[in-house]
Amino acid sequence: MTARVLIVDDVFANIRLLEARLTAEYFSVVTAMSGPQALDICERGECDVVLLDVMMPGMDGYEVCRRLKAAPSTAHLPVVMVTALDSPSDRLAGLQAGADDFLTKPINELALLTRVRSLARLKNLTDELRARAVSSSGLGLPDPLAMAAAEDGQNGRVLLIEDRANAADRMSAALQQHHTVEIEVHAPEAMTRLSEVGYDVAVLSLGLNSADPLRLISQIRADNKMRNLPILVLAETPEDPRIHRALDMGVNDYLIRPVDRNELIARVTTQIRKKRYQERLRDNLKASMELAIVDPLTKLHNRRYLQTQLSSLMSDDVARGAAVSLLVLDLDHFKSINDQHGHDVGDDVLRECAERLRQAVRGIDIVARFGGEEFVVAMPDTEPFAAQRVAERIRTSIEKTPFTVSGGQKTVLVTASIGIATTSKAAASGDALFKQADAALYEAKRSGRNCVRAAA
């Protein structure tokens, strides 16, 4: 895939060299020669991956990275530090600033391109989640981008897949300062544990003797439950071709032995933080979708969802000659309940009515709060006599058992009127069916309430 890569370096020759390598592989390149200029470009959303030189006058690369990762609008941007510095302390400083990787000059071209492609894929996925999160910001949910950016990646659950006992023990001891660590030496058992337990990251040795580690990576990525699990691999040398193969397969990061304990902690914590960032955005998306289709008081589906699904239901069932029945229910004298007992009691009644409706219908039926004290039940593949039986069961369940309200402190007697309609030539659309059921409800109220009436 292609992507927009921002190269940040105060030496023009370095920019030209990286630009030539990236444009040859059809990446779009944006350049900046200072930290403030880079921050402006990132804030405007003009790049997908940042290649950031460390040693720059004024604002150095570490400070640029810290500012990018601290801002909700840019915290998701992948940052690769590019520098001649290669000591463990230099790499650690970059990772602690929030960098996703650290490439040392002279840069290996294969490592550069593989890493940029890998990070661009991750950025593309995150962009989709962010766009949906931003679009749901008007629904009254907490700011998902700010919440996600505040994640620190601590107290994660790590599975270490390593069959060298001494190495496994050393890494486990280092990681246990910040995370819960479990060790597995066999690939099949590792797959089982990963699929059954909610790990935050898997650390996998490419030197496994008992299995092909690339095969294990492939199996992990093929499993829907583990598709978003961060994987960090351990290699003996940076020249190991399996590193680049693993990154292409979806591995998130890698470490070269001998492993520096602080770098291990920093890279694992970074992966956990990024995983939780995406989880926050996914949770926000799920919550916003629920708000769009669920009534907040009763947790039933709302009017919008019912109308959308009823049209689809009618099309499917009418096409195959099956009947669809619709019940429209209205709580009798509900205004009096609110006036006598207060709106809190009225809300309790609505919630309890919703629960009784759930208990009275099948899993395939759609139960919705249509508005106020009115509820609708859409029943696919249901003939009139069956709909009549269900409606009477619902009416009886409401009438016979008083509603417990105010936290169990008192009860309220409630009744309901119900209108029924079933698909016919005169009611072959959702709107027509609802009008017939609503007319039947009106007839039930005219007949004295607390009864069931079917459309003629």
Q: How far apart are CA 30 and CA 5, in angstroms?
A: 6
339 or 291: which carries more pLDDT confidence? 339
Q: What is residue 162's three-state secondary structure?
A: coil
What pLDDT digit, counting tens, does each position of 180-198 carry?
A: 999 999 999 999 999 998 9
Q: What is residue 94's three-state secondary structure?
A: helix
CATH topology of domain 136-285: Rossmann fold (3.40.50)
Domain with CATH 3.30.70.270 in the chain: 303-454
Tell me what pLDDT residue 143 has. Answer: 61
What pLDDT digit, counting tens, does each position of 359-403 carry?
A: 999 999 999 999 999 999 999 999 999 999 999 999 999 999 999
Q: State percent of the chain over pLDDT 90.
A: 69
Compute the average pLDDT of residues 135-152: 58
Interacting residues of 389 by C-beta distance below 8 A, sequence separation 6+? none
Distances in whole angstroms, Cα of residue 422 to Cα of each of 364, 415, 452 = 17, 23, 14
Containing 312, the helix (H) or strand (E) segment is helix 303-319
| Catalytic residue check, 443 | no
Tell me what pLDDT residue 380 has. Answer: 94
Residue 139: pLDDT over 80: no
Query: What single-letter amino acid sits at 272?
Result: I
Residue 1: pLDDT over 70: no
Tell me what pLDDT residue 193 has. Answer: 96
Domain with CATH 3.40.50.2300 in the chain: 1-132, 136-285
Tell me what pLDDT residue 203 has. Answer: 98
CB distance 453 to 419 below 8 Å: yes
Q: How far apart are CA 451 and CA 378, in angstroms?
A: 19
The residue written with tokens 């591995």 in the block is 251
CATH number for the segment(s) 303-454: 3.30.70.270
Query: Burial, 22: exposed, middle or buried (Cβ in 10 Å; 0-12, 13-18, 19+)?
Result: buried
Q: Which of 279, 290, 373, 374 is catalytic?
A: 373
Compute the average pLDDT of residues 216-223: 95
Helix count and strand count (H, E) for the chain = 16, 17
Taking every pair of Cα atoms in the chain, the longest distance, rounded to a whole number of angstroms, is 89
Residue 253: pLDDT over 60: yes
Q: How far apart are CA 402 and CA 423, in angstroms?
A: 34
Q: What is residue 379's three-state secondary structure?
A: strand
Residue 456: pLDDT over 80: no
Residue 133: pLDDT over 90: no
Interacting residues of 123 by C-beta distance below 8 A, sequence separation 6+? 3, 48, 49, 76, 77, 78
Q: Which two tokens stand for residue 187?
A: 């690939």
pLDDT band at 229 (very low <50, low <70, confident <90, very high): very high
Q: How far apart are CA 373 and CA 381, in angstroms?
A: 26
Query: What single-letter amino acid sits at 238?
Result: P
The residue written with tokens 């990024």 in the block is 274
CB distance 247 to 225 below 8 Å: no
The CA-CA-CA angle for residues 41, 46, 47, to 5°, reads 100
Tell me what pLDDT residue 150 has. Answer: 65
* DSSP 8-state code for residue 78: -
Residue 311: pLDDT over 70: yes
CATH architecture of the domain 1-132 equals: 3-Layer(aba) Sandwich (3.40)
pTM score: 0.67
Compute the average pLDDT of residues 418-434: 89
What pLDDT digit, counting tens, does each position of 41-98 carry?
A: 999 999 999 999 999 999 999 999 999 999 988 988 999 999 888 788 888 899 889 9
